[in-house]
Chain A
Amino acid sequence: MFSKKRDSSVAVWVMLAPYLVFLVMFAVVPIWMALKESVGPTMRNEAGGLKNYFLVLTDYRFLTSLKNTVLYVLVSAPIMTIVVLVLSLLLDSFRANWHQYIRLAYLIPGCYVGAAGVLAWYMALEPIIGPFRRVLNFFGIEKSTQVFQPSSLVFIFAMMAVVSNAGAWIVVQFGGLQEISEEVIEAAKIDGCGNFQLATKIKLPLIKKNVVYMVVLVITASVQLFAEPFIVNQQIGFSGNWSLMQLSYSIAFVEGDIASASAISFMLLAVSLSAALIFIFKSKFFEGEGVEK
């Protein structure tokens, strides 16, 4: 839409300029650069081109990392979604004033994110010093090696993700549930809806958009898993190149092959990008957000 007054248009663009410059400089251009870099010459393939992608896809480590990453997404995303939805629905169905402290309790572990979070949750799981050592001992788990083994890593990483992020998502989904009008709930009750039916037939469909938004963000974040396997590997080993992002990191900074690393990075980016695009256009994200035409 053209503005009637030129000067006000100028003011708007001046205000937007810093953000747009940063958006172009630190999102658009880097993505373009990574794409360009990913078809550049490498040690293995001096000609460059799409062959880089082929070489990366057939790298002996790629399949393992891909399997781990996919498994991680398949484990963590459903657990996260179910935990968040069940707890938000419980909080909404059985409201009480003291529940605000419960919500706070769910949020606090989220402060342990990044490097500190990984190490802290790692220690908390240790059967010798951790807070749950008696429970673990009861089940016959007495040594760290019984907890931290290659086959259990995916569940440990998923647990770390759920514990630190569920609280914030519960606040979001609970907030969405609170916006459902009382009349709708009353009407459904008069029609004979029980609590369970109310939750599955009325409330969930009404917050569908929020839920899809959460699922998309959880998946895009899971695809890029890096911190947990990276730090665990630095401390105890055996999770090197566990996830695709880690593989990309070691190819770039251990082997110095930026082109092949960019190829992996770009493929991962493409997954997240498509998820975001599909969500934005399929769910008609804009409607109700005041973005018309």
Chain B
Amino acid sequence: MSKLLSDGNFIISTASRPKPSSPGKYLANFILVFLAVVLIIPVIWMTIAPSKDRVQLITLAPLQFGSFGSYLTRWRNLLQYDNGVIIRWMENSFWYIIAIVSLSTTMSLLGGFALGVKNFRFKRQILISTMIAMMLPGVALVLPLFVWVDKLRLTDTELGLILASSLYPFGVFLSYIHFSTVIPRELYEAAKIDGCGYFKIFRKVALPVSKSLAGIVAFFSFLGAWNSFFLPQVFILSGEKHPLSSGLVILFTNVKAFCGCEPTLLPIFRSEIALSALILITPTIFLFIFAQRFLSRGMLAGSVKS
């Protein structure tokens, strides 16, 4: 239909969308800005909450800044929990994430490339399975995974957690779309005529032009692994093996910072919780800003193309 229309000379195509009437435009912009402000205020508030102690949190105005020194005090208070096990959790997270992201990204790129460049038997079945796996929420698989990993005697091991977290069907699907649509087939054909095998084509032709894809897959895989706390909570039994996300849940549970009953003597209250939330989201925010220009493209490719 669009082709037909563009052939007609009577339509003067302009580059932008229709210019709507002003009142509608002002109302729309007002709604958009208002909601953005409502969403951003809590984020700002959470960022400056650790600058205040638990009394200042109530007495100072919501967006009033306390002091920079307070961040340090909050951090020292968090360190008082279980001999600073929080540092250990951060180290664990670091190594888990490196392992999970490299495993899942490698699998996604290789698998997506294989599916993207060639038609072969069972390809359709593999793609359907990938889509089903992609649409299943991670939470749904936690208990079944636990049952299985327990049979393999891998519960409470780093290996079990890493392996179970590394399956990333979305990455495979994203790579499949990329390698089958973004890279022109002629490029593969030319390389094949030059006598390249598939591994060589992958390394020499496909990978060099797919850096942003690798970035997107790694970014999303990072997000999933970094934020997951249910799986490690179930898989890991010993306190010092936890990643930061599930470790903090245990810390908060043991400290009961919210109930006001103060069952422990540790100075861990709302400001400390705000600081740990800030620590948890800092890497994400940095990667977010860093990866922003790839993001919209990546998420779009992951969605259905109409």
Contacts and interface: CB of A to CB of B under 8 A. Distances in A.
A234 B252 contact: yes
B35 A106 contact: yes
Nearest to A133: B62
Given A2-B121, A8-B118, A265-B140, A94 B20 contact: yes
A293 B128 CA distance: 12
Interface stretch (B68-76, B80-88, B211-219, B254-262): B254-262
Interface residues of A, number: 130
Given A1-B119, A22-B107, A33-B144, A163 B62 contact: no
Interface string B101-112: 000001110110
Contacts of B288: 107-108, 111
Interface in B107-135: 107-108, 110-111, 113-115, 117-121, 123-124, 126-133, 135
A224 interface: yes
Interface in B59-99: 62-63
Given A112-B43, A181-B2, A245 B299 contact: no
A227 B231 CA distance: 11
By secondary structure, the A interface counts as helix
Interface in A258-290: 258, 261-262, 265-266, 268-269, 272-273, 275-277, 279-280, 283, 285-286, 288-290
Contacts of A29: 148
A292 to B, nearest CB: 8
Interface in A100-124: 101-102, 104-109, 111-117, 119-124
Interface in B227-246: 227-230, 234, 245-246
B184 to A, nearest CB: 13
B110 A15 contact: yes
Given A114-B228, A217-B135, A23 B299 contact: no
Contacts of A112: 43, 46, 277, 281
Contact of A231 (B42, B44, B199, B249): B249
Contacts of B28: 90, 93-94
A124 B144 CA distance: 34
A266 B143 CA distance: 9
Q: Which of A11, A25, A129 has most B Cβ within 10 Å?
A: A129
B120 A3 contact: yes
Contact of A221 (B16, B124, B137): B137
B225 to A, nearest CB: 11
Contact of B2 (A34, A184, A214, A273): A184
B202 A187 contact: no
A265 B285 CA distance: 33
Given A30-B141, A115-B229, A187-B11, A120 B274 contact: yes
Interface string A156-186: 0000000100011001100110010111111
A9 interface: yes
B11 A190 contact: yes
9 contacts: A96-B29, A101-B36, A111-B288, A121-B42, A134-B62, A213-B303, A224-B140, A234-B253, A291-B124
Given A19-B108, A22-B163, A183-B5, 14 more contacts: A8-B198, A15-B111, A20-B111, A25-B163, A87-B35, A90-B31, A93-B17, A115-B245, A172-B303, A175-B300, A185-B18, A195-B20, A258-B147, A293-B124
Interface of B: 1-2, 5-6, 11, 13-18, 20, 24-25, 28-29, 31-33, 35-37, 39-46, 49, 57-58, 62-63, 106-108, 110-111, 113-115, 117-121, 123-124, 126-133, 135-137, 139-141, 143-148, 151, 163-164, 166-167, 169, 172, 177, 180-181, 197-199, 202, 223, 226-230, 234, 245-246, 248-249, 252-253, 256-259, 270, 273-274, 276-277, 280-281, 284-285, 288, 292, 295-296, 299-300, 302-306
